[in-house]
A and B are shown apart, each in its own frame.
Chain A
Amino acid sequence: MPIITYRQALNDTLGEELARDPNVLLMGEEIGVFQGSYRITEGLLQEFGPKRVVDTPIAEEGFVGVAIGAAMLGLRPVVEIMTINFVLVAIDQVVNHASKIHYMFGGQVRVPLVIRTPSGGTGQLGATHSQSFENWFAYCPGLKVVAPATPYDAKGLMRAAIRDNDPVIFIESLALYDTKGEVPEDDDFVVPIGLAEVKRKGSDVTVVSYSRMTAVALQVAQRMESEGISVEVVDLRSLRPLDRPTIMASVKKTNRAVVIAEDWYSYGVTAEIAASIQEEAFDYLDAPVQRVAGIEVPLPYAKDLSAASKPSANSLIYAIRQVLKGSRGR
């Protein structure tokens, strides 16, 4: 399999889907002439023209609404929101319309819409441009939320999202765009929405993560192996639907779990996973589930404070040591 970047995997997939299905179109700010703020849509305007790759005004509520209407009439819009922070402007369209139309119109109309947007905070973008809101959407029935961590999953899940008949929030990460990995060339390859994956096998502790935190978890797992600590990494890939069986199978094997996510601690993704584990795997736990999440502050601009506010390899290692306390003489 060729090794390409996460960005390239997305760009390839968008191009292939535009070519495969004439109903697919892209919309968003600066995605055409400017080639995309993060160059995910590079070259696509030239290849498919302005009817298929549509530059929009800076008016998220308006163009998300337009995309929902287009989807209701049979098109398959893929909307880029520059960062997840700006989707707040369109949240009524997403939560009150896109997610509920299929239900409220008695199943007559579907909304095959993809909203792709990077989430999380790296690189001193300030408190209003560094947030993680995927849990807000994962909270809402009627939406699907996916958050790939690798180029492989980015491609497979983007295909699945575009071909899905329901609205899908597709979470990306600025820090992942340049990461590389193997991606199959097979045209029919998809990663089904709603399936987690064990990205690394281990026996001492399960780390549950998604998106950028999966990359962190895999690094940590590698580092801890030299200490004789065997970490299993479960990459959620989808937040809604949530693949609880894969999480539970792993926790039942290791008896210990650490959940890491970039969003804030209270009411965040880690809370949902930890609650699910105690509901479904209580009798298999050897220690309380540990959670690693963002410190509950508006993200500071200062570099060191910003780093200290986000979960990191070090905070994950600390949590793993906590959850392993008392086992095998630790």
Chain B
Amino acid sequence: MGEVTMPRLSDTMSEGTVGRWLKQPGDQVSAGDIIAEIETDKATMELESFESGILQKVIIPAGKTVPIGEVIALIGNGALAEPSPPPVASPPPASPPPTPVQAPASVPTPVSDDHARLLVSPVARRIAEELNVDLRQVQGSGPGGRIIKENVEEFAARRAPAAPPAPVAPPAPVAPPAPVAPPAPVAPPAPAAPPAPTATAQVAPLSRMRKAIARAMNESKPGVPHIYVTVEVSVDALMALREQLNATGTRISVNDLVVKAAARALVKVPALNSSLTTMSDGQLGVAQHAAINIGVAVSLDDGLIAPVVRDADKKSIGTLSGEIREMAARAREGKIRQQDLEGATFQVTNLGMFGVVEFGSIITVPQAASLAVGAVRKLPVVRDDQIVVGQVMNLTLSADHRVVDGAVAARYLKELQTILEAPLGILM
């Protein structure tokens, strides 16, 4: 009997993912037939069979990743042909005994990323076939993420009108979202649920509208759909404060002050100190973090890391500044510890030192937002109807549009602006 192994398809490939099986157990296979698609680190490639015979057994189901050289299927003469067991990764969970309803676990359990066996109800599968719906694109709302009939019907209904998609969410800023397009399960890539960053105060399911927005955003921008909101902050008072502080011999940076202010603003607008997550019942939810831990981006010669200042809202500016300086130094020496990099609930990144006026940063999953800090510039500004020289700084917030809308992002920036423009509060 011939063993089909995970092939080395590129120089850098160490493992491969079975994308899908093109032959099923029991199928006749001739040498040269394409029997599967393999996803490597670079691309999806076809797997040719070297042997002829009957595909006896699929060992590694579609969606699973294994190292090169591992046996993924058996080809033989059919003597042992099994009655084509579907390439099931794991049996569907047995229906639980009728225990009393349990509150959703507070720790989000990630849904299995094993797409080998989509959970689909029989009627949903039949209707998907009739409507020509690709079930892999449908988000299931049933137990364990099972795709049920209405998910398929909604997907098909949404797809049906070839008309321009209804305006989905309001463009960026202030106005609260107008009624959103019909709730439509697109397939947002299931939000990765890496270890929860911090103690989570609570996880609440997304509202129907939030779900609809999340899906619509993901349809346009797969992954984390960012929304960008920018505000200009007058920093004359902030720069004066910094001068006074540093006159005492400390070395507080503008960024330190912004980090502290950003943390304080999160206390006021906690919606941004959260993570999109998948709850134990497979539904999307929002985890509201109890602690405010700010990842501060530090540029290295060959990359970027973001050491985490824990409880940044509660630390004095001196402590916070010292921690950032100390962690940045260790990062540059390559001595950063893993725990220094974990648990951020929000991120601040600054390109002001390069003279960058403003920019949009990329949110680090599973955080809900990231603040990009531009340079402090002297500009002619209008004050009391007079043109005077003022110092300004542009701040751009990137927010996960599945979790919040432009109005919340704007409210956050308003809080942040207020704190930075009357900065003595930062010292408290």
Q: Give A contacts to B, CB under 8 Å.
A: 255, 282-288, 315, 318-319, 321-322, 325-329
Contacts and interface: CB of A to CB of B under 8 A. Distances in A.
A283 B143 contact: no
A287 B98 contact: no
Given A286-B148, A318-B98, A329-B208, A255 B123 contact: yes
Contact of A326 (B98, B101, B122, B141): B141
Contact of B123 (A286, A321, A325, A326): A286
Contacts of B149: 255, 286
A10 to B, nearest CB: 35
B140 A326 contact: yes
B94 to A, nearest CB: 10
A329 B101 CA distance: 16
Given A287-B142, A319-B98, A326 B148 contact: yes
B141 A327 contact: yes
A283 B126 contact: yes
Contacts, number: 51
Contacts of A321: 101
Contacts of B146: 287, 326
A321 B281 CA distance: 14
Contacts of B148: 286-287, 326-327
Nearest to B99: A318
Contacts of B281: 325-326
Interface string B135-146: 000001111001
Given A285-B122, A321-B101, 10 more contacts: A286-B121, A286-B124, A286-B149, A287-B142, A287-B143, A315-B98, A325-B281, A326-B140, A326-B146, A327-B142
A284 B122 contact: yes
Contacts of A255: 121, 123, 149
B150 interface: yes
A315 to B, nearest CB: 8
Interface of B: 95, 98, 101, 121-126, 140-143, 146, 148-150, 208, 281-282
Contacts of B208: 329
A283 B122 contact: yes
Contacts of B124: 286
Contacts of A327: 141-142, 148, 150
12 contacts: A255-B149, A284-B123, A285-B121, A286-B121, A287-B121, A287-B142, A287-B143, A315-B98, A319-B98, A326-B281, A327-B142, A328-B150
B122 A282 contact: yes
A318 B143 CA distance: 15
A318 to B, nearest CB: 6
A282 B120 CA distance: 12
A288 B122 CA distance: 9
B6 to A, nearest CB: 35
Contacts of A326: 140-143, 146, 148, 281-282
Contacts of A285: 121-123
A287 B95 CA distance: 10
Nearest to B95: A288
A318 B98 CA distance: 8
Nearest to A282: B122
Contacts of B126: 283-284
A296 to B, nearest CB: 13
Nearest to B211: A329
B143 A325 contact: yes
A250 B141 CA distance: 23
Cβ-closest 5 pairs across A and B? A326-B142, A286-B121, A326-B141, A283-B126, A286-B149
Contacts of A328: 150
